[in-house]
Amino acid sequence: MSPPQPSQLAAGRSPGAAAKGPLTLRELDAISVDRLNGVGPQRRKALAEVGVESVFDLLTYYPRRYVDRTSQAPISEAAVGAEMTVVADVHAVSSRRLRGGRRLVSVEVTDATGALSAVFFNQAWRERQLTEGRTVALFGKVENYRGRKQMTNPVVDVLGDGSTSDRTGKIVAIYAQSEAAGIVTWDVANWVAEAQRRCSARGIADPLPDWLRSRFDVIDRPSALADIHGPSSAAEQAAARDRLVFDELLRVQLVLRSQRLAREANELGIAHEPAGALIEGFHRLLPYELTGAQRRAMADIDADVSTVRPMHRLLQGDVGSGKTLVALHALLIAVQNRHQGALMAPTEVLAEQHFIALRALLDGFEVPDEARLGGTRPLRLRLLSGSSSAAQRREVLVEIATGAADIVVGTHALLEESVKFGSLSVVVVDEQHRFGVSQRAQLREGGRDDRRIPHLLVMTATPIPRTAAMTVYGDLDVSVLDELPPGRKRVATQWVHGPLATESMWSEVRDEVESGRQAYVVCPLITESESLDARSAERMHAELVAGALAGLRVGLLHGRMPPADKERAMARFRAGKLDALVATTVIEVGIDIPNATVMVVLSADRFGIAQLHQLRGRVGRGSHASSCYLVSDDDPTPTAVQRLTALSESNDGFELAERDLELRGEGTLFDERQSGRSDLKLASLARDLAWVQAARDAAIDLIAADGDLDAHPALADEVDWFASRRDPDYLQRS
């Protein structure tokens, strides 16, 4: 099908014979938004700033909420104490400066039945937004202030400039607005209506077969796109949302399903015997019992590696759940079968930590070697990182190439062309989200000369909600470690704000250190930044040495230090020669020091839930009670307050991941930078579990066993367009 010529659509002429049939999403995406009346160069630039560049972008710039003016309550009926929406005209605006430099903006709004005041603290820009004569919707709690009805800091939607009578008595769609870009809700509504009018001659295509729409009871796409922007009832809006949510999730699932089937059809790996004396000896030497979750994950890995289909498994576990042991089990299967294993970590600190942990677990461990007199030799574990000396590097490279190194732990240095494995058969990638897709694939695909693909185990200590795992990792098999090993204790977590609470906290830190324990102090920045009012590690180190922690041994660790200095600081802390370590988030994952029992996170309101949970996981790793203090700035945002409260109330990473998803949203699932256009504009992984499951079921039914959509050409074209719209390398190689 030929796409419509943008000039034809812009002029309102019917496309010629070469462009028959309804408009597909690919075609809509090829039509620039400036082909619409009212969108000139300035408006086009403003729309691009909010991610709208094509007619497709505009039609999927969905309303963020709706104001129901069919049953709108007048101001006279706005009950004090109730939360409600009031639609009225701005009558007067004033502002004044308060003590402390804050500004108060007061706005009086009126309708035919009365007046109401809205006051905004520290939002000076409201004076420019809410000019006299504008029609606004205010949502908030109605208060009584000196005998007058008032709302404090209500949610505001500007509906128009006093000429919105055409919207009276309707359900009004409210779009995300950008004062800076000059995008207001009634402009978006007008452009959407213009786009829909221009599309009406050909209509909009629906690639779903009738039987699938019937099976999942969803309406057709043209109706959904019309009703999401202009519903006549709440039920109509809900039905439109269901269909469009299903569309978004189905496209994702179809891409993932086809990737998986193509990989399984085209990749050939190495079959391993998972049982044997080496593995049995390893399990016998463990000083503690495995959890049931660890046993299940190891059984999953055993089943995967026993076939020529390369393992492609995600090992997901909360901090301290024992992922390292499971990873070592996989690596030892490679060694048992006369191959090599590699573990790649994103930072030198984490690679070093893994090396130390594995070395302790493998101390005195022997592997079969018929060339030796006793028939065995010590297992060779090697470390390769950017800070390895030239002599060390040459020695390790030779051992890797000859197969003398059984297990190699490293950073990105493992990806360099000079690294050639003798027979790599199992690859473990830790904190996989920190690596580019091409980097992960490079180690996996470049580890052998015979083109066989090593088995891949990717690990993450960031708990992923089940809905997100089903979507983002749809082409991976997933093992979950949802039990903590015996002895792991809950970390008592406090949100600290205000000078008195902070002073008390430092006193408690000193008490803990003086009892023989150690503390981390984490800062968000390395050096001062004019754009971010956050404490730096260097400044905080100096302040603590001279103040709250004076007389104690306080070290410093951040990413810009020379590798040797970082290793020295970490080694001193690990050996107990430092009482406290001031650090950036370089210590976020993998650091395991049982004697560290205190975690202080400064400017904690600037961190996300997942990162704070990871930082907290650095303590509570021994037999001693542990504490985490989340120190916020004086006036954190409401969302930051929700994050800090959630962490204070829960130590469960999976529960926190669900909460994080609700607060943060999904982001861009297929873009490894997690920025740019979102794949899910309407669907919510936090709310739409049923639709995620429906989309997975539908993808299985739609895609043939050989991984194609030949029976559904319209849908196949849409999926190809969707995949090409993202990062093609990511989609092909993830």
Q: What is the pLDDT of residue 464?
A: 66
Whether residue 629 has pLDDT greater than 90: yes
Under the banding of pLDDT at 50, 70 and 90, the label for residue 307 is: very high
Pick the CATH number of 277-462 from 3.40.640.10, 3.40.50.300, 3.20.20.70, 3.30.56.10: 3.40.50.300
CA distances to 299, 499, 526 from 502, in Å = 48, 5, 21
- What is the rounded distance in angstroms from the CA atom of residue 716 to the CA atom of residue 54? 21
**Token pair in block for residue 81:** 């104490």
Q: What is the pLDDT of residue 671?
A: 40
Q: Which CATH architecture has domain 492-650?
A: 3-Layer(aba) Sandwich (3.40)
Comparing 424 with 463, the larger pLDDT belongs to 424
Whether residue 18 has pLDDT greater than 60: no
Q: What is the pLDDT of residue 72?
A: 67
CB atoms within 10 A of CB 699: 23
H/E run at residue 505: helix 499-514
First-to-last C-alpha distance (Å) of the chain: 30
Under the banding of pLDDT at 50, 70 and 90, the label for residue 284 is: confident
pLDDT digits (tens, 9 = 90+) for 23-38: 999 999 999 999 999 8
Whether residue 10 has pLDDT greater than 60: no
Q: What is the pLDDT of residue 200?
A: 92
- Asked whether 727 and 504 are in contact (CB, 8 A), the reply is no
Domain spans of the chain, in order of start: 1-58+178-205, 65-174, 206-266+689-734, 277-462, 492-650
pLDDT digits (tens, 9 = 90+) for 599-623: 999 989 888 887 888 889 889 887 8
Q: Which range has highest mean pLDDT (12-21, 40-49, 183-192, 387-396)?
A: 40-49
Whether residue 129 has pLDDT greater than 60: yes
Whether residue 543 has pLDDT greater than 60: yes
Whether residue 534 has pLDDT greater than 80: no
Contacts of 654 (CB under 8 A, 6+ apart): 318, 463, 465, 482
Whether residue 343 has pLDDT greater than 70: yes
Q: What is the mean pLDDT of the chain?
A: 83
Could you give the angle at which helices 348-361 and 323-336 cross, rounded to 10 degrees?
70
Under the banding of pLDDT at 50, 70 and 90, the label for residue 12 is: very low
Q: What is the mean pLDDT of residues 378-385?
A: 92
Under the banding of pLDDT at 50, 70 and 90, the label for residue 705 is: low
Q: What is the mean pLDDT of residues 511-540?
A: 75
- Asked whether 114 and 74 are in contact (CB, 8 A), the reply is yes
Q: What is the mean pLDDT of residues 276-301?
A: 90
Comparing 27 with 677, the larger pLDDT belongs to 27
Lowest mean pLDDT among 447-456, 470-479, 503-512: 470-479
Residue 319, class by beta-carbon neighbours within 10 Å (0-12 exposed, 13-18 middle, 19+ buried)?
A: buried
Under the banding of pLDDT at 50, 70 and 90, the label for residue 256 is: confident
Q: What is the pLDDT of residue 287?
A: 74
Q: What is the pLDDT of residue 90?
A: 94
Q: Which range has highest mean pLDDT (167-181, 236-250, 386-400)?
A: 236-250
- What is the rounded distance in angstroms from the CA atom of residue 682 to the CA atom of residue 244? 7
Q: What is the mean pLDDT of residues 396-405?
A: 93
Contacts of 380 (CB under 8 A, 6+ apart): 399, 404, 405, 406, 407
Lowest mean pLDDT among 56-65, 214-223, 653-662: 653-662
Comparing 586 with 656, the larger pLDDT belongs to 656
- What is the rounded distance in angstroms from the CA atom of residue 326 to the CA atom of residue 361? 12
Under the banding of pLDDT at 50, 70 and 90, the label for residue 475 is: low
Q: What is the mean pLDDT of residues 682-690?
A: 79
Q: What is the pLDDT of residue 162?
A: 53
**Token pair in block for residue 269:** 């790996």
Superfamily of domain 65-174: Nucleic acid-binding proteins (2.40.50.140)
Under the banding of pLDDT at 50, 70 and 90, the label for residue 725 is: confident
Q: What is the pLDDT of residue 672?
A: 38
Whether residue 493 has pLDDT greater than 60: yes
Whether residue 73 has pLDDT greater than 80: no
Whether residue 135 has pLDDT greater than 80: yes
Q: What is the pLDDT of residue 677?
A: 41
- Asked whether 656 and 647 are in contact (CB, 8 A), the reply is yes
Domains 65-174 and 492-650 belong to one CATH topology: no
Under the banding of pLDDT at 50, 70 and 90, the label for residue 82 is: confident
Backbone angles phi, psi at 567, to 5 degrees: -65, -40
